[in-house]
Amino acid sequence: MAIRWGSYPVKGLYDELIQGRAKPRPAANQLCQFLHGLTDKEIAEHKNAADLAIKLMGITFTVYSEQDGGAIDRAWPFDIIPRVIDNREWKVIERGLVQRVKALNMFIADLYDKQKVVKDGIFPAELLKDSVNFRPQCVGVKPPLGIWAHICGSDLVRDKDGTVYVLEDNLRVPSGVSYMIENRQVMKRVFPDMFENENILPVDDYPSKLYDMLASLSPRKVTKPVVAVLTPGIYNSAYYEHSYLAQQMGAELVEGSDLQVGEDDCVYMRTIDGPKRVDVIYRRIDDLYIDPDAFLPESTLGVPGLMRAWKAGKVALANAPGAGVADDKVVYAFVPDLIRYYLNEEPLIPNVPTYRCIYKDERDYVLEHIAELVVKPANESGGYGMLIGPHASPEEHEHFKKLIRANARNYVAQPMLTLSTAPTMVGNRVEPRHLDLRPFILSGKETYVTTGGLTRVALTKGSIVVNSSQGGGSKDTWIVDTEGGN
């Protein structure tokens, strides 16, 4: 089980730790030397220590299975070999993420105001008309600082030539940041010496940064605004994260039934001492369920009158309702144009080349080359509902052709990238596995980008599906400053 690099690099792949002739990349040099020096027994001890830490810390995720009878909590799948990125490269990525989120917020604000981007022909009117995430209830609203998407998780991938691409933007209720923080805590327990000897940039400050951003949105200018995390409840797949972030921020963890909107349009939390006003709500519930008066009348998860309170400026909501209009894989294809339109800048991080099925020539290409492409529906998440052409059957190809012809607006297609890999413990061996990265961007008076993010890894050999709900795992992400000192 000893960690050796003799099988690296794998031809045709970009590995995050190892380059040509089994040589570590500069930022990963100390890590690789350390791992290389471990005995089989020491590796097993470290792996067992990580598994025990995850169990003791109660780090779980929820999956839904009809076969197993509903929701099941499972231990977080974690790999002890971290992913390493040089800080010099990360600074460029960070600037690109800030640029991207700024343009997306300007786009959302424009759509709910004058819609200049549509009138100027940059964004097609038919896409907006058919958007399932555009909320007419939000037209004319101007949230504080003009920001709609306060928390964004953008998924990054690296291709075989080393190019980093944005794969998608998550602007509704992005999840996973608690696992980024917990991954680091586990690694500090397992490899404490590495954190003393390497200049690994921290991620532990995220909860305080999140709280400061949320508190800055408060409509009341008070010393300590009341911040609440609104959760659908314990059966939600991300409930662990909801409770974790509330605890770390010192915020209230509430369900819809804990809140009520008063005649003064303020939101109050029920307590044993009586109603307590809430200033800011970090909502982890989708738009359609947050207020039965404004959206789905049958929703029992939300708070009647919450939209009225938000429009009256009596409570701040993050992310703002309606922000999901930009969380759409078809909208994604236009983001480079939006950056140029709103910022007059070239995108610092490219999109994956994307075919938009709404356009006949691009749709014809997709239909003709469907066996070579990855086809994605506009608004699914978690890796569901997509076709991986090279791995699909002729019958599946034909099925997706019918879906595209029936509703072209709902589909985009992309070439199948050869995602980068990283050495991963698989049983008692080390093998390359494909991975992605989800950094988190906070937008308030200032913009903050996590130093790294959540690295998700496909534990099945050859798979590019990294989602934990479909068998993926995770690694700690080290942004290593090779120029700074300890």
Q: What is the pLDDT of residues 149-185, one digit of tens each?
A: 999 999 999 999 999 999 999 998 899 999 899 999 9
Torsion sign over Cα 319, 325, 329, 332: negative
Question: Would you state the pLDDT for residue 379?
Answer: 76
Give the pLDDT band (50/70/90) at residue 486: very low
CB contact at 8 A, 227 and 214: yes
Question: Would you state the pLDDT for residue 217?
Answer: 95
Residue type, 401: K
Q: What is the pLDDT of residues 404-432, one digit of tens each?
A: 999 999 999 999 988 999 999 887 788 88
Question: Would you state the pLDDT for residue 407?
Answer: 93
Give the pLDDT band (50/70/90) at residue 9: low
Strands 227-230 and 280-283, bridge-based pairing: parallel
Give the pLDDT band (50/70/90) at residue 235: confident
* Average pLDDT of the chain, as a whole number: 90
User: Which of the residue ranges 19-23, 222-226, 235-239, 245-249 would you say has the lowest mean pLDDT?
Assistant: 19-23
CB proximity list for 52: less than 8 A, separation 6 or greater = none
CB contact at 8 A, 1 and 428: yes
Three-state SS annotation for the chain: CCCCCCCCCCCCCCECCEEHHHEECHHHHHHHHHHHCCCHHHHHHHHHHHHHHHHHHCCEEEEEECCCCEEEEEECCEEEEEEEEEHHHHHHHHHHHHHHHHHHHHHHHHHCCCCHHHHCCCCCHHHHHCCCCCCHHHCCCCCHHHCCCCEEEEEEEECCCCCEEEEEEECCCCCCHHHHHHHHHHHHHHCHHHHHHCCECCCCCHHHHHHHHHHCCCCCCCCCCCEEEECCCCCCCCHHHHHHHHHHHCCEEECHHHEEECCCCCEEECCCCCCEEECEEEECCCHHHCCCCCCCCCCCCCCCCHHHHHHCCCCEEECCCCHHHHCCHHHHCCHHHHHHHHHCCCCCCCECCCEECCCHHHHHHHHHCHHHEEEEECCCCCCCCCEEHHHCCHHHHHHHHHHHHHCHHHEEEEECCCCCEEEEEECCEEEEEEEEEECEEEECCCEEECCCCEEEEECCCCCCCCCHHHCEEEEEEEEECCCCCC
First to last CA, the chain: 32
Gap between the Cα atoms of 336 and 13, Å rounded:
27
Q: Does residue 1 carry a pLDDT above 50?
A: no
Gap between the Cα atoms of 382 and 272, Å rounded:
39
Give the pLDDT band (50/70/90) at residue 383: low
Q: Higher pLDDT residue, 16 or 63?
A: 16
Q: Does residue 216 carry a pLDDT above 50?
A: yes
User: Which of the residue ranges 5-9, 96-100, 232-236, 383-387 would you say has the lowest mean pLDDT?
Assistant: 5-9
Question: Would you state the pLDDT for residue 426?
Answer: 82
Give the pLDDT mean for 333-347. 97
Q: Does residue 458 carry a pLDDT above 80?
A: yes
Give the pLDDT mean for 107-128. 96
User: Which of the residue ranges 257-271, 346-360, 382-396, 465-479 would you say has the lowest mean pLDDT?
Assistant: 465-479
Give the pLDDT band (50/70/90) at residue 484: low
Give the pLDDT band (50/70/90) at residue 450: very high
Q: Higher pLDDT residue, 194 or 372?
A: 372
In the chain, the percentage of residues whose pLDDT exceeds 70 is: 92
Q: Of 316, 311, 291, which is closest to residue 302 (Cα–Cα)?
A: 291
Domains of the chain as residue ranges with CATH: 355-415 (3.30.1490.270)
Q: Does residue 380 carry a pLDDT above 80?
A: no
Q: What is the pLDDT of residues 13-56, one digit of tens each?
A: 899 999 877 789 999 999 988 888 888 888 888 888 888 888 87
Question: Would you state the pLDDT for residue 42?
Answer: 87
Q: Of 427, 451, 423, which is closest to residue 439 (Cα–Cα)?
A: 451
Token couple for 85: 């990125």
Give the pLDDT mean for 358-373. 96
Question: Would you state the pLDDT for residue 291?
Answer: 98
CB proximity list for 297: less than 8 A, separation 6 or greater = none
**In whole angstroms, how far apart are CA 137 and each of 129, 141, 322?**
14, 9, 8
